[in-house]
Amino acid sequence: MFNKFSFKTLSDHFGCWRYYAPGYLDSRDVKLDEKVMSEMLELMGFNSVEEFNKTLAAEERNNLPKDLQNKIKNIFEPPRDQIDLCIPKTLDVCPELINPIKTLKNQEPLEIDIYAMNISKDYDHFKINLRAGIASNKLFEPLTKDLESFTRLAIEKLPSGIGKISNSERLIIMKFLQLNKCDDSLAIDNDFLYELGMQMLFLVESIGIVTICFTDVDGGEGSFWVEGDEEIGFNWCE
C-alpha cells in the first residue's frame, strides 16, 4: 500500500492512504449484539465466532489471502469516491488558503485491505478488533502546473521533514504564499509550515472504512466504522 517517494521520478498524480493499527468497529446508532454478530458471520461465510477467530489466527498477519479478505469485506460498504478537499480555515495569518490539489477524473478506486481481525465477547456485546487500511495510488493532481513543485514539496516534507527543507525549497513555499496574498516571510516559520502541512495531510481524513447498515435486537439501526490508532498520508506514484 505504501509507496516510497522520489523527487527524481515523480509523476503528476498521487494518491493517499489511511491505516488503522490497530482499530475496532464502533457505532453510535447500533449495538454489536448477538443479532448483528450473527448477520455479520453469515455474510462473511462463518458459522461461529470460534470458527472465524480460528481461521484468522491460522493466517499470517498482514498477509491474509485475498479470498479471505473478500469474504470479510462483505460486511463493509465499498469505499466512496467523494473526497472532501476543503482545507480548514484555521490559519489566521493566511485565511484564504488555496488548496493546491484537485481530484483526478480517471481515479483508481479506493481499496480496503484487511490485515488482521479478531472477535471477542463482553457480556452480551461483541467487540471486533482489526488492522485495516484504505488507499488508492491515483486520486489527485496539482491544481495547476505552476503548483506542482509546491504540491510535491508539501506532501513530502510538510510536516514530517521540515528540518530538511533547503533554501531553494523555501523559495517555492514563498511563491505559494505570495499567490495566497500571505506574508511570504512565513516560509521561514517552521511552526507555520508544520500547521500548513498538517492541514493538507488531514484532507485524507475524509476517507474511511464503514460497514453496511445493521439492525440490532432493540431496533437500533446504523453502520459501524473503524476507529482507533491510525496513520494517514499521501503517496506519489513513480
* Domain assignment of residue 37, yes or no: yes
pLDDT over threshold 80, residue 236: no
Which pLDDT score is estimated for 81? 67
Query: Whose CA is closest to 143, among 85, 226, 92, 62?
Result: 85
DSSP secondary structure letters along 44-97: HT-S-HHHHHHHHHTSPTT---HHHHHHHGGGBPPPPS-------S--TTSTTP
Q: Across residues 88-103, what is the average pLDDT?
A: 78
* Domain assignment of residue 93, yes or no: yes
Containing structural domain, residue 38: 14-232
Average pLDDT of the residues of the chain: 89
pLDDT over threshold 90, residue 118: yes
Least confident of 23-37, 58-72, 154-168, 219-233: 154-168
* Domain assignment of residue 9, yes or no: no
Copy the grid coordinates of residue 150: 509546491
* Domain assignment of residue 211, yes or no: yes
Compute and round to an integer the Cα radius of gyration of the chain. 21
Q: Across residues 104-129, what is the average pLDDT?
A: 93
pLDDT over threshold 50, residue 15: yes
Which pLDDT score is estimated for 60? 93
Is the Cβ–Cβ distance between 225 and 16 less than 8 Å? no
**DSSP secondary structure letter of residue 37:** H
* Domain assignment of residue 2, yes or no: no
State how many domains the chain has: 1
Q: Across residues 17-30, what is the average pLDDT?
A: 95
